[in-house]
Amino acid sequence: MEITNVSEYQEIAKQKLPKMAYDYYASGAEDQWTLHENRFAFTKILFRPRILIDVSKIDMTTTVLGFKISMPIMIAPTAFQKMAHPEGEYATARAASAAGTIMTLSSWATSSVEEVASTGPGIRFFQLYVYKDRNVVAQLVRRAERAGFKAIALTVDTPKLGRREADIKNRFTLPPFLTLKNFEGLDLGKMDQADDSGLASYVAGQIDRSLSWKDVKWLQTITTLPILVKGVLTAEDTRIAVEAGAAGIIVSNHGARQLDYVPATIMALEEVVKAAQGRVPVFLDGGVRRGTDVFKALALGASGIFIGRPVVFSLAAEGEAGVRKVLSMLRDEFELTMALSGCRSLKEITRDHIVTEWDSPH
Ligand code: FNR
């Protein structure tokens, strides 16, 4: 049957993938309240469309950290993409570049920065987890730079892994034929079986729980790449991030996989945008599944959004073609939303084009 929206790939992925892989991709932390809320909160925002505006030409292009892209829809880092499809991150990289948008490669990719670069041209960011061994981090950042990655997305919400109960029950671990490719030569590429989640044990062993704002400064001493701080949910941390030299903020709750009962990202967005005061761009990820969601995020001040699960689910279903289809469906839906709201360019999307349940009455 024909796929007509992004969410439909989830059911196909569920049927195709081994349970351990599907559960890893789909799960949120603990009660999964935030997982539900990431989607549900979008339903609390309604449109105030403007009519009789000539929308025969619509421009969705934008610039992110100086790089021109075709639309404000980008790809978030998700780990272990070869568990979804043999071509994994290669397929995602090609699909992103065909769509004229940015792919963020996970530190925990099953393809290395060099391998992804070898798929051809494209604007790519590298997501960084900071390991206890800072030589490992410095080497990896240098390799990402050399491979042509244009920014570092520093994930700051994972001093420990969130409690994803399905992964604990499944004793989640990477299938033996896969490795964390970026760390293979560094002897950190294997994930052992544990009596709970193998990934949680890996994180406990390798990831630096002492990471703090001074390390954001340190990172700037080892790279000239701009740093996006991924995982901000408050005004307070937004102000500190800007002062610490962040080039941008990603409002993210890690797809609801870390701390449960944090708000949906779309509800935290406006607070962060206000605190950023236009000094750096603010992006959002979490629960974006429709072109209308993209529009709502931009109306609340985001400069762009990233998608996570839709990429792994469509990869599992159809490989590169699936990821291409996800990007083109979101693009078409977003264009339609702009047309039906009377917006011809991203800068014409304003706060007045939406009303939220938490707005006071006009
Ligand atoms: C993630 N996410 C993530 N984030 C990160 O910084 N590094 C990573 O390696 C991963 N890996 C990862 C795997 C899987 C399977 C998921 C679902 C998520 C979080 C990701 O970048 C992003 O924040 C969320 O996925 C966005 O929410 P949606 O679009 O999945 O709802």
pLDDT at 63: 98
DSSP 3-state helix, strand, coil percentages of the chain (rounded to 5)?
Answer: 45, 15, 40
Residue 170 Cβ inside 6 Å of ligand 1? The answer reads no
Q: Within 13 Å, how many C-alpha atoms sit on residue 109's CB side?
A: 28
DSSP output for 41-66: GGGGEEE----S---SS-B--EEETT
In this prediction the pTM is 0.98
Distance CA 48, CA 232 (A): 28
- In CATH terms, the fold of domain 4-357 is TIM Barrel (3.20.20)
pLDDT at 360: 81
Burial of 60-71, coded b for 16+ CB within 10 Å and e otherwise, reads bebebbeeebeb
Q: Whose CA is nearest to atom 13 of ligand 1?
A: 78
- Scanning the chain, the segments in alpha helix (DSSP H) are 8-16, 19-26, 33-40, 88-98, 113-117, 134-146, 165-169, 198-206, 213-222, 235-243, 265-276, 291-299, 309-341
Instruction: Domain ranges for the chain, please list them.
Output: 4-357
Number of other CB atoms surrounding residue 197 within 10 Å: 25
pLDDT at 315: 98
Q: Within 13 Å, how many C-alpha atoms sit on residue 11's CB side?
A: 6
Distance CA 99, CA 96 (A): 5
Residue 353 is a catalytic residue: no
The answer to whether 252 is annotated as binding is yes
pLDDT at 53: 98
pLDDT at 186: 82
Helix (H, G, I), strand (E, B) or coil at 152: strand
pLDDT tens-digit profile, the chain (362 residues): 799 999 999 999 999 999 999 999 999 999 999 999 999 999 999 999 999 999 999 999 999 999 999 999 999 999 999 999 999 999 999 999 999 999 999 999 999 999 999 999 999 999 999 999 999 999 999 999 999 999 999 999 999 999 999 999 999 999 999 999 999 988 898 888 888 899 999 999 999 999 999 999 999 999 999 999 999 999 999 999 999 999 999 999 999 999 999 999 999 999 999 999 999 999 999 999 999 999 999 999 999 999 999 999 999 999 999 999 999 999 999 999 999 999 999 999 999 999 999 898 76
Q: 262 and 184 in contact (C-beta within 8 Å)?
A: no
Residue 230 Cβ inside 6 Å of ligand 1? The answer reads yes
pLDDT at 1: 79
- Residue 258's Cα: distance from chain center in Å? 14
Residue 314 Cβ inside 6 Å of ligand 1? The answer reads no
Number of other CB atoms surrounding residue 360 within 10 Å: 4
